[in-house]
Chains A and B, each alone.
Chain A
Amino acid sequence: MPTPLVVSDVAKSFTMHLRDGIKLPVVAGVSFSIRAGECTVLGGPSGAGKSSILKMLYGNYAVDEGQIIVNHEDGLIDLANASPRTVLAVRRQTIGYVSQFLRTVPRVSALDVVAEPLVERGENRETARGKARALLAQLNLPEKLWALPPATFSGGEQQRVNIARGFITEHPILLLDEPTASLDATNRDVVIELIAAKKAAGVALLGIFHDHDVREAVADRIIDVTAFAPGKLAA
């Protein structure tokens, strides 16, 4: 089986045109791969570029240089140069993402927010809702909230909706941007269990976890992102 995701020599900077065009380099020379059935963790202090790397892998950020090769539907695709339509197909079938914050849509219930990625993959709506219920129950989200739009939920409640939405599908690659940041200990443990189940199912996970205990519990490998600091490349 090919490696699910290979990143090679990726560089990213921001050009701030409203600030006289100053260029802010974020990362350079990013090279690593992730393996099926493992959870790889991006480590390093805030501002090192961990989230930027995840966003490039998901297509939210453009890539200046390098390649991001993903194994998508039995073919290899370079996400760094893929068309929007290809990126959308990769998101639908291959790469899932749990963002730090839930982007809420007015009037859509928490249950449907969670079920949506499955429906997009062609699952029957009622089956998808059934799975959504099971996940929300596992994450201890009170049942009385399921029919409500998550806009007014607390941070921890929104995050659990977001986690359920990310974990409901069977994407072979799953990106996690601090999924446990605002969770209590009980729910952190649920997330650790969910991650373990994904690993057992052969999913390749790549995550950012500031919580030391969670990182200890889930990480198979830690990649130190400070090695990709833009200045280091010359050395």
Chain B
Amino acid sequence: MTDEPLLRVSALSKFYGSRVGCDNVSFDLWPGEVLAVVGESGSGKTTLLNCLSTRLLPSSGTASYRMRDGQFRELYRMSEAERRFLMRTDWGFVHQNPADGLRMTVSAGANVGERLMAVGDRHYGKIRATAVDWLSRVEIEEDRIDDEPRAFSGGMRQRLQIARNLVTGPRLVFMDEPTGGLDVSVQARLLDLLRGLVTDLGLAAIVVTHDLAVARLLSQRMMVMKDGRVVESGLTDRVLDDPRAPYTQLLVSSILQV
């Protein structure tokens, strides 16, 4: 365990004209930590995620990332090429809709292998073996390796997207509603899979979700957002067991019990 955070975010804001995307968000993320960002639609959580993953540039504020050489780099001062390289190698991004994160017209194996080639792997046999290994880790049968994701169910596509993201051994993974739109039984399987992978690989992750149960299961820390601002943050079970902000109390009291 290192004593330095992996990501330092300070006073990050994004405005769309006069409209607030996210406002003055600050936090540190350490290796191996899973941070859940919760809030309802329009709360700014996806804007925040897109800024952090440099898919959007913020209006103000800074975010620095500790590179593999131990040096902190200011994300918004990197060149486009450097950011893309980070995205391809050290980061992953799991989209809510797998079609946004997969290439739907190439095979499952190629979807996984492509990321490996992006980091310089050239040996076909090795790439294929790694792809098979990763497909099995996300519980996709080896005989589906040559099928296109178009032929996969929603849950399988999502698992394939996770394999594609994790194959390069990233240190930080962004997830946008990773279980949204899936049946509950499929969700449970995916959550269990994610939980195991995050623990085994020691990944840091930022997970945007509106589902507090997903946040409880996956994350150690939580930020609650409303109208672009963080209204409460802390240890996940503290926020859920003893919510302090009016909005968090409303969210927690709105959970359906089964």
Contacts and interface: CB of A to CB of B under 8 A. Distances in A.
Interface of A: 14-18, 55, 59-62, 84-85, 87-88, 105-108
Interface string B219-258: 0110000000000001101100110111001100100000
Contacts of B235: 59-60, 84, 87-88
B192 A107 contact: yes
B235 to A, nearest CB: 4
Nearest to B5: A85
Nearest to A60: B241
A232 B146 CA distance: 72
A73 to B, nearest CB: 12
A15 B195 contact: no
11 contacts: A14-B242, A17-B245, A17-B249, A18-B253, A59-B235, A59-B237, A60-B235, A61-B241, A61-B242, A84-B235, A107-B192
A14 B245 CA distance: 11
Q: Which of B33, B188, B238, B245 has the most CB of A within 10 A?
A: B238
A199 to B, nearest CB: 28
A108 B238 CA distance: 23
A105 B238 contact: no
B249 A18 contact: yes
Contact of A62 (B192, B195, B238, B249): B238
A60 B222 CA distance: 13
Contact of A15 (B191, B238, B244): B244
B84 to A, nearest CB: 31
Contact of A106 (B191, B241, B245): B191
A62 B253 contact: no
B76 interface: no
Nearest to B247: A17
Contacts of A61: 238, 241-242
Nearest to B184: A106
Contacts of A88: 220, 235
A62 B242 contact: yes
Q: Is the interface of A mostly helix, strand, loop or mixed?
A: mixed
Q: Is the interface of B mostly helix, strand, loop or mixed?
A: helix
Contacts of B249: 16-18
B220 A108 contact: no
Pick the 5 closest A-B CB pairs, nearest first.
A17-B246, A106-B188, A84-B235, A107-B192, A61-B242
B250 A62 contact: no
A220 to B, nearest CB: 29
A85 B241 contact: no
A1 B233 CA distance: 35
B115 interface: no
Contacts of B253: 18
Given A60-B237, A84-B235, 14 more contacts: A16-B249, A17-B250, A59-B235, A59-B237, A60-B238, A61-B241, A61-B242, A84-B221, A84-B238, A87-B235, A105-B195, A105-B217, A107-B189, A107-B192
A87 B220 CA distance: 10
Contact of A85 (B30, B192, B245): B30
Q: Which of B192, B217, B242 has the most CB of A within 10 A?
A: B242
B250 A18 contact: yes
Interface in B37-72: none
A107 B139 CA distance: 14
A106 B221 CA distance: 20
Contacts of B217: 105
Contacts of A18: 246, 249-250, 253
B237 A107 contact: no
B242 A60 contact: yes
A91 to B, nearest CB: 9
A85 B246 contact: no
B234 A106 contact: no
A102 B123 CA distance: 48
A150 to B, nearest CB: 14
Q: Which of B189, B195, B237, B244 has the most CB of A within 10 A?
A: B237
Contacts of A17: 245-246, 249-250
A16 to B, nearest CB: 7
Nearest to A21: B246
A107 B186 CA distance: 11
